[in-house]
Structure 1
Amino acid sequence: MTRAKRWPARRVVAAVTAALLACGCSAATRDAGGTAGGGDHPATIKAPTPALQPFYSQKPAWNDCGDGFQCARIQVPLDYAKPSGERIEVSAIRLRATGTHVGSLLINPGGPGGSGIQYTRSARALFPDSIRSRFDIVGFDPRGVGESTPVRCMTSKQLDAFVSLDASPDTPEELTTLERESKGFADDCEAKSGHLLPHVGTADAARDMDVLRAVVGDTKLTYLGKSYGTYLGALYADLFPKQVRALVLDGAVDPAVPSLKANEVQAQGFEVALKAFLEDCFQDGACPFTSRTVDGAMAEVSALLKKADEHPLKNDLGDGRQIDEAWATLGIVTPLYERDAWPRLRAALGHAFNGNGTDLLRMADILVDRQQDGTYSNQTESNMAINCLDHPFPKDPGEYQRAAGEAARVAPQFGSFVMYGSLPCAYWPVASKGTDKPLKAAGAPPILVVGTIRDPATPYEWAKGLASELSSGVLLGFDGDGHTGYRSGSACVDSAVDDYLISLRVPKNGTVCPKIG
């Protein structure tokens, strides 16, 4: 479950949801800005320190891994402060450029905990020919995630129970259960992955990205990060400003916002997105709400969730799960990430109002990365491990209770749910290494920050904040719905991003691309 501080980008969620519901180098030329292209045997690139040179000089074997992709495993230090110590592996994947190769475009889908390997396998749909002809598209699972020395904490059955925890406790007993199980999650992570937990933070992942940049033979980094990937990219730029060629940070996270405040703002973002969905729903004859006002329909959603809290909705999947308030909330949240999934939400809510929550459960499974066989990826576990290490969370559970009450006042549907999602961090066995502060990346070339005005997961104010904090930040807004803006239907956004990646031309700071339609 990704009920933590920042939730993953799901740019293909509509297609996946529809499918579920239907089932009932050689020498290279230089591009603008001097990106050195890497081949199968790129020239050795100098490491920041001599002790790291063996990692920067490694020549991994890129092997065919299906459908035209190549995969490799990159060695990095477990602890960058002790580069001669234990090594771990980071898994990477690439799709070679179709034309004159000028370098690599490294990508990250968000999370934390989202698999860059799985995301990159959609590269042909994610990028236009103008990008794919010039760049190898390179993805990786950050350390602790997926195929890269993953954090593990719980069995699938345990995760089912954890996801279904009541994160809007109505009684002292429910609050006690939530606190006990949140501590249990932290304890299980320590028991199974304790040696790894101090070393899965975003700062280490950014250092891994610099090793990967060198391994693919690029003298400077070209990068597209979405959602949490914007934090990863901004932190990279802050650590390695002189190694930046072009960074696109889409669906931006503002690193200066304190952790619990970020939860509250995110909950408000989902509230805004739900209201936008409702306004759109009223234009459709199949809209399942009896009310034709936003406030009235919001009350109907609240009543549905209260009903699921008291009497779970019907589950036709035959897997024994009870569709309680937590699963129903996740099922509503998932399609809010993608406007094209709104028709699926309309249909799912129609069934839920009649007592059947199966379609909501199917969509919730997408968000938590639960497979049809009942197994999970490690997205939920790595998401928590990275967030709890990256950001200073309170250790007093009472602070979460107070914050949840305030968040519920400004975001009645999602405030408590989002806030209590971070509660395991109160019991986390490893002290946070991070601070919530602006990242300036002084000395970096222009960095393009993209924000969607009605983004549910990363509100537009975060994009404005990040762009203003970066010394060379350039803000591009999009008057749209859904999570992230690039390749979401706006020709204005797409052309600006593509032009920047190819030619390093940035739009005027503060440009807002118009609403579609």
Structure 2
Amino acid sequence: MSVPKRLAALATGLLLGLTGCTSFSETDGAAAPAAASATPTPEQVDAIAWTDCDSEIQQLIAGQPGAERDLSFECGRTDVPVTYDDPDGPTLQLFMIRVVMAGQTDREGSLLVNPGGPGGSGVDAVVGLALTLPVEVLQRFDLVGFDPRGVGLSSPVECVDAELKDRSAASEPQPTTPEQLDDAFALTREVADACADEYGEGLGAFSTVATARDMDRLRQALGDEQLSYLGYSYGTTLGSTYAELFPENVRALVLDGAVDPDATEQESAEGQARAFEAAFDAFAANCTGLLAGCPIGADPRGFVTSLLAQARTAPIPSSEAGETRQATAGHVFTAVLAALYDTSSWPQLAQALASAQAGDSAGVFTLADSYNGRFPDGTYSNITDANLAINCADTDEEYTEAQVRALVADWSVRYPLFGAGSASSLYTCSVWDAPRTPLPERDAQGSAPIVVVGTEGDPATPYPGAVDMAEDLDAGVLLTWQGNGHTAYPKTPCVTAAVDAYLTDLTVPADGLVCPAA
């Protein structure tokens, strides 16, 4: 989903002025995450310490579409247990932003947001959503975005340094030869070892199950009897986990871009490879159909394949002032991957690729760095660290090097652009040395209706995942958009109207409602 960039820089500055929050480390005493336990009583839940941060955020959003809205911003922080096995033990600090529109009527309470990832910042996302969500929703809800444990400004996981992230970003994106796969496996082990050395078993504290428990404490601290929630992508995993653990506390959950709850890691990786291939074909058809002509010619797939080969043998310099990096195949590939998430980025991608072939990789770096969380000064957000920690805490599946090599050989033929990278990614958690808390099966028996939104042309969370999520949830309701790109709300009027009515008035859309791409 699209939110204003560089909000993390603002939030970091705010945090430095508000609190001495530090990264979580092994010394905080984390143990393996807890199994299911009872909902905390209000006496057990820490209050949220709110601070006015309106002027700082107003300065940041000034001039952006939606900034004319009469909005006020508060920044907050609260503590949660490192492990729910020891609720009175060591704590982690969560950071959040609350947005209130002036003139609210018939207020329902708070609408909690998670933008996905895992590792995406809810603090960043909620400011962007405050500028873009329908006014009808903001008139009924305080909008609350929080960085989940380990993410952004909430006791962030930080164990992969900038040099290692730079090497990872530049590495071969389609490893197919034995030597390329050896290098990929070695880089994966280097990252895993760095995080194990920094945190040890404490890495197990960053599971989705633990974050879902944090969300219920936030619900109570916000004063809401039940939870209203908007979750995108990985946020659908978090939201459905919450509904499984606390079904009686669900008021309304919108799960947009559902991650398939039934798929194995291998099935998910192959599904993404297939879906990104289809998304690239949609991008190519759109580009070649332009009246002004496609900047990358009549064969976009052939163009990208040729550009990747060019960048492998002669990395491409950038015209950006002060930029010393040269774009490798890894950067070019990541630029393509990033732009396929949103159709609005397709023209930018075509121009960036054309410029790169002509010898200027500035546009490629813009897309790739945004995807990787790299800032202009060469530092990074912690989205990569958090993504690894959360994904690996959530699964006990492991794949051997031999299994990965066999899948690479198969998928690189069936999915020429995205197969090898998807297959090699399966090795990531196989060498992750930390306790695991696999995701529970999720039917959320006893929950209020939950709306699951799926986009037929979604490359990151393929549409079958939304179908499975809606079927698995006892009270799941499927809403389909026949469009392209990752997630649907509030991109299209049909989906927007259905979701708005559900959030504000609990009017549940007809199960199976299909919204046309137009």
TM-score w.r.t. structure 1 length? 0.87
Higher relative contact order (CA 8 A, sep 6+): 1
**What residue number does 1:392 align with?**
396
- Cα distance, 1:168 vs. partner? 2.1
CA deviation string 1:62-102 (max 9, x = no partner): 11123321111111110001112111111111012431332
Residues 451 and 484 in structure 1, CA contact (< 8 A), matched pair in contact too: yes
Residues 51 and 83 in structure 1, CA contact (< 8 A), matched pair in contact too: no
Residues 52 and 83 in structure 1, CA contact (< 8 A), matched pair in contact too: no
3-state SS of 1:301 partner:
helix
**What residue number does 2:193 align with?**
187
**What residue number does 1:132 align with?**
138
Question: Alignment partner for residue 152 of structure 1, among 137, 148, 158?
Answer: 158
**What residue number does 1:33 align with?**
none
How many correspondences in the alignment?
Answer: 469
Counterparts of 1:220-299 in structure 2 under 5 Å? Answer: 220-284=226-290, 285-291=292-298, 296-299=299-302
Taking a change above 3 Å as real, the CA distance of residues 65 and 398 of structure 1, as seen in their structure-2 partners, is farther
3-state SS of 1:194 partner:
helix
- Cα distance, 1:438 vs. partner? 4.2
Residues 317 and 360 in structure 2, CA contact (< 8 A), matched pair in contact too: yes
Taking a change above 3 Å as real, the CA distance of residues 444 and 175 of structure 1, as seen in their structure-2 partners, is same
3-state SS of 1:122 partner:
helix
Counterparts of 1:358-369 in structure 2 under 5 Å? Answer: 358-369=362-373
Tell me if 1:62 matches 2:50: yes
Q: Return the letter of the residue paired with 1:91.
A: F
TM-score w.r.t. structure 2 length? 0.87
Q: For 1:472 and 1:310, how far apart are their aligned partners in 2?
A: 54
Tell me if 1:470 matches 2:508: no
Question: Alignment partner for residue 78 of structure 1, among 54, 64, 82?
Answer: 82
Tell me if 1:11 matches 2:2: yes
Q: For 2:96 and 2:37, how far apart are their aligned partners in 1?
A: 22
Q: For 2:406 and 2:349, how far apart are their aligned partners in 1?
A: 31
Taking a change above 3 Å as real, the CA distance of residues 54 and 195 of structure 1, as seen in their structure-2 partners, is farther
- Cα distance, 1:195 vs. partner? 4.8
Q: For 2:395 and 2:454, how far apart are their aligned partners in 1?
A: 22
- Cα distance, 1:380 vs. partner? 0.5
Q: For 1:236 and 1:410, how far apart are their aligned partners in 2?
A: 37
Counterparts of 1:405-420 in structure 2 under 5 Å? Answer: 405-420=409-424
- Cα distance, 1:332 vs. partner? 0.9
Taking a change above 3 Å as real, the CA distance of residues 445 and 191 of structure 1, as seen in their structure-2 partners, is same
Residues 212 and 238 in structure 2, CA contact (< 8 A), matched pair in contact too: yes
Q: For 1:480 and 1:181, how far apart are their aligned partners in 2?
A: 37
Residues 248 and 449 in structure 1, CA contact (< 8 A), matched pair in contact too: yes
- Cα distance, 1:52 vs. partner? 5.8
Q: Return the letter of the residue paired with 1:399.
A: Q
Q: Return the letter of the residue paired with 1:115.
A: S
**Structure 1 unpaired stretches of 5+:** 1-9, 17-46
Residues 337 and 456 in structure 1, CA contact (< 8 A), matched pair in contact too: yes
- Cα distance, 1:276 vs. partner? 0.7
Q: Return the letter of the residue paired with 2:294.
A: C
3-state SS of 1:121 partner:
helix
Tell me if 1:174 matches 2:165: no
Q: For 2:408 and 2:238, how far apart are their aligned partners in 1?
A: 27
Residues 317 and 325 in structure 2, CA contact (< 8 A), matched pair in contact too: no
3-state SS of 1:196 partner:
helix
**What residue number does 1:21 align with?**
none
Q: Return the letter of the residue paired with 1:133.
A: Q
Taking a change above 3 Å as real, the CA distance of residues 272 and 438 of structure 1, as seen in their structure-2 partners, is farther
TM superposition outliers: structure 1 runs of 4+ over 3 Å: 47-55
Residues 348 and 360 in structure 1, CA contact (< 8 A), matched pair in contact too: yes
Residues 153 and 192 in structure 1, CA contact (< 8 A), matched pair in contact too: yes
Taking a change above 3 Å as real, the CA distance of residues 116 and 453 of structure 1, as seen in their structure-2 partners, is same
- Cα distance, 1:48 vs. partner? 6.8
Taking a change above 3 Å as real, the CA distance of residues 150 and 195 of structure 1, as seen in their structure-2 partners, is farther
Residues 337 and 455 in structure 1, CA contact (< 8 A), matched pair in contact too: yes
**What residue number does 2:220 align with?**
214
Q: For 1:459 and 1:335, how far apart are their aligned partners in 2?
A: 16
Q: For 1:498 and 1:59, how far apart are their aligned partners in 2?
A: 30
Q: Between the two proteins, what is the percent identity of the paired residues? A: 39
**What residue number does 2:330 align with?**
326
- Which has the higher mean CA deviation after the structures are superposed, 268-277 or 171-180? 171-180
CA deviation string 1:164-186 (max 9, x = no partner): 22132243332222111110100
Q: For 1:335 and 1:51, how far apart are their aligned partners in 2?
A: 42
**What residue number does 2:20 align with?**
none
Question: Alignment partner for residue 460 of structure 1, among 458, 463, 469?
Answer: 463
Counterparts of 1:377-388 in structure 2 under 5 Å? Answer: 377-388=381-392
Q: Return the letter of the residue paired with 2:3.
A: V
- Cα distance, 1:419 vs. partner? 2.8
What is the RMSD computed on CA atoms of the aligned residues?
1.9
Tell me if 1:88 matches 2:89: no
3-state SS of 1:96 partner:
strand
Q: For 2:224 and 2:85, how far apart are their aligned partners in 1?
A: 24
**What residue number does 2:15 align with?**
none
**What residue number does 1:103 align with?**
109
- Cα distance, 1:424 vs. partner? 2.8
Taking a change above 3 Å as real, the CA distance of residues 305 and 52 of structure 1, as seen in their structure-2 partners, is farther
Q: Return the letter of the residue paired with 1:149.
A: S
Q: For 2:506 and 2:39, how far apart are their aligned partners in 1?
A: 32
Residues 256 and 453 in structure 2, CA contact (< 8 A), matched pair in contact too: yes
Tell me if 1:445 matches 2:433: no
- Cα distance, 1:510 vs. partner? 1.0
